[in-house]
Homo-oligomer: A and B are copies of this chain.
């Protein structure tokens, strides 16, 4: 049977399940990627699992998010991550090396491989003929420990590219066109696979731009073939031997079919405050701007900066416009310096920042109140820039550059100047030494984790008890979000590496007494909570399960669960059960004592079972929806213990 590239990648890594869209499959993971914002917890999880050394072919820990060091917390995390990388046999990329996705592409990505990363833009490396997917931190920790990754078999959405990009139109306009057509949920449950004669007209880094923002369509992944252009790219990186050809078979088919003629594209722009809010740049011409922002994983390439530099040469940024340049990798910045592009940008008035994610994730470069910011970044969700009422537009480097010169949104295709031709550096820089290589096992075992005062190991958690007699500490209503369970933000997030500290914020928004009441009985077997519909909606943060679990939460009894939080509850050993008769919710009150017996048995059987409200002398019927694997995880008291039993 003729296979497309996605199907080949999945077939070669399939551990279990059937390749039928929507069915759960398990895949071998060859490579992983973690960044610093999510990586500290992943490393603590590896420690808790007792992992000796990474089981993957290559795993890399990057430091690119939390580069602002206003106090000791971020630099302490960096030292911890470096020591953890050494301890667990990972590559380590120091602060200043750049954004994980382009650095991974330059140094480690390989056609034909799977890549799992604790960052939603991990999909960017699908540009290299890889199956690259973002996932939660614990999933990546398990992958590092050698466990397969479970995911629903996606539909493969074939996008046939024809034609060639006109002058002043670039890769960003390609993905903006897809967002214009399909909006931010158009890719859910799908892998977008690009093919056709137009692919050859896109350079590897242009494909990165397009693959990266597949995340904005909600896609599971984006896949480009590995062709001669990928060979050229790898050769340039001194990694020709890492190349292999990976193309769709003749006659391969796709679950969904679409065509996009590159020749017909025009400059596009996403208006505030959604990447799907795409219009033609023409429609906004004359809108005043405050900021033009170049860089990020959504436009990380040498050409993405060089084209701006060429357009700015001997010109000056408009008064009152901040031109923020965020290089994406040390190696690329070195080339931009050597080729004279950075000097041109500086002389035009650019603010040159260190290589990293920076303002793309709200770490600096916030715009002034109510002023328009044009960015080449992937996202413009409200407030993501750091400014509460921001006004962020997403566009190509060309559109951002010409608008910075004019002080207002300008369509680059209306310029009279010749479209600058960007030449590659004659001898591109290859920076091999600053991505530190893993230590061999015997050396790695000697490394001590460097834990600053704000970094605490994940405490041991016990296995599930067969019988529980626990009080209901909170009774909540419908639509409780993970923000209410454990807030995000600047007050809470600095404690991301410190479970005892961050747990103090658990349910604080709902009931300030929760922490003290939970603490008081944590040694007596813990407690339960009760809630209504859609419990745990919102952010996927794992701390919203881990922190209450640390305080003794053992059972969540609700009308129904939001999907991701439900998975997180299981992963951290909290039994998620639902009412068989939803009216039983009304029988329960804070302080009631629940008695659950024979739990090992009930969890194994996928049937409703009865629990007792001891103080009221009542029984109610509850049920669970755990898969066989999840039943196993519950038995061990969570995924860390479960993994520990396997490593």
- Which A residues fall within an 8 A CB radius of B? 67-72, 74-76, 78-79, 82, 94-96, 290, 316, 319-320, 322, 330, 333-334, 337-338, 340, 342-343, 346-347, 349-355, 359, 362-369, 371, 386-388, 390, 429, 431, 433-434, 436, 452-453
Question: Which 5 pairs between the two chains have the least Cβ-Cβ distance?
Answer: A96-B351, A75-B368, A72-B387, A69-B366, A72-B369
Give bound CA distance, A611 to B78, whole Å: 63
Is there an interface contact between B352 and A343, defined as CB atoms closer than 8 Å? no
A405 shortest CB reach to chain B, Å: 14
Candidates B74, B95, B352, B366; contact of A96 at CB < 8 Å: B352
Is there an interface contact between A366 and B94, defined as CB atoms closer than 8 Å? no
Is there an interface contact between A75 and B322, defined as CB atoms closer than 8 Å? yes
A250 shortest CB reach to chain B, Å: 45
- Extra contacts, 7 of them, besides A69-B359, A71-B388, A95-B322 (Cβ < 8 A), are A70-B363, A71-B366, A75-B369, A79-B320, A95-B351, A96-B322, A330-B347
Contacts of A434 in B (CB 8 A): 316, 349
Give bound CA distance, A269 to B407, whole Å: 47
Give bound CA distance, A346 to B333, whole Å: 8
A19 shortest CB reach to chain B, Å: 44
Q: A71-B387, A95-B322 are known contacts. Are A343 and B334 too (CB-CB below 8 A)?
A: yes
A184 shortest CB reach to chain B, Å: 25
Q: A96-B349, A334-B346, A436-B319 are known contacts. Are A368 and B72 too (CB-CB below 8 A)?
A: yes
Give bound CA distance, A30 to B289, whole Å: 36
Give bound CA distance, A220 to B453, whole Å: 41
| Contacts A/B (CB < 8 Å), 26 sampled | A69-B366, A70-B362, A70-B366, A71-B386, A72-B366, A74-B366, A75-B290, A75-B322, A75-B366, A75-B369, A75-B371, A79-B368, A82-B320, A96-B350, A330-B346, A330-B347, A333-B352, A334-B343, A334-B347, A337-B343, A351-B355, A352-B354, A352-B355, A353-B353, A354-B354, A368-B452
Contacts of A354 in B (CB 8 A): 351-354
A85 shortest CB reach to chain B, Å: 11
Give bound CA distance, A363 to B362, whole Å: 16
Contacts of A95 in B (CB 8 A): 322, 351
Contacts of A72 in B (CB 8 A): 366-369, 386-388, 390
Q: What is the chain B residue whose CB lies nearest that of A323?
A: B96
Give bound CA distance, A364 to B354, whole Å: 12
Contacts of A69 in B (CB 8 A): 359, 364-367, 386
Contacts of A319 in B (CB 8 A): 82, 436
Give bound CA distance, A44 to B346, whole Å: 31
Give bound CA distance, A434 to B348, whole Å: 8
Q: What is the chain B residue whose CB lies nearest that of A436?
A: B319
A331 shortest CB reach to chain B, Å: 9
Q: What is the chain B residue whose CB lies nearest that of A69?
A: B366
A121 shortest CB reach to chain B, Å: 21
Contacts of A359 in B (CB 8 A): 69
Candidates B94, B316, B353, B363; contact of A433 at CB < 8 Å: B316
Q: What is the chain B residue whose CB lies nearest that of A68?
A: B364
Q: What is the chain B residue whose CB lies nearest that of A92?
A: B319
Contacts of A330 in B (CB 8 A): 346-347
Give bound CA distance, A427 to B31, whole Å: 49
Q: What is the chain B residue whose CB lies nearest that of A94?
A: B349
Q: A71-B386, A95-B351, A337-B346 are known contacts. Are A369 and B453 too (CB-CB below 8 A)?
A: yes
Q: What is the chain B residue whose CB lies nearest that of A338?
A: B343
Is there an interface contact between B70 and A386, defined as CB atoms closer than 8 Å? yes
Q: What is the chain B residue whose CB lies nearest that of A343?
A: B337
Give bound CA distance, A369 to B73, whole Å: 8
Is there an interface contact between B333 and A337, defined as CB atoms closer than 8 Å? no
Candidates B76, B82, B349, B367; contact of A75 at CB < 8 Å: B367
Contacts of A342 in B (CB 8 A): 337, 342
A369 shortest CB reach to chain B, Å: 4
Contacts of A343 in B (CB 8 A): 334, 337-338
A344 shortest CB reach to chain B, Å: 9
Q: A82-B320, A96-B351, A330-B346 are known contacts. Are A369 and B68 too (CB-CB below 8 A)?
A: no
A562 shortest CB reach to chain B, Å: 29
Give bound CA distance, A72 to B388, whole Å: 8
Contacts of A355 in B (CB 8 A): 351-352
Q: What is the chain B residue whose CB lies nearest that of A83?
A: B320
Contacts of A78 in B (CB 8 A): 322, 368
Give bound CA distance, A79 to B369, whole Å: 10
Give bound CA distance, A362 to B290, whole Å: 27
A481 shortest CB reach to chain B, Å: 23
Contacts of A79 in B (CB 8 A): 290, 320, 368, 371
Which of the listed residues A337, A347, A350, A359 has the most CB atoms from chain B within 10 Å of its own CB? A337
Contacts of A431 in B (CB 8 A): 347
Q: What is the chain B residue whose CB lies nearest that of A455?
A: B369
Contacts of A388 in B (CB 8 A): 71-72
Q: What is the chain B residue whose CB lies nearest that of A389?
A: B72
Give bound CA distance, A513 to B355, whole Å: 48
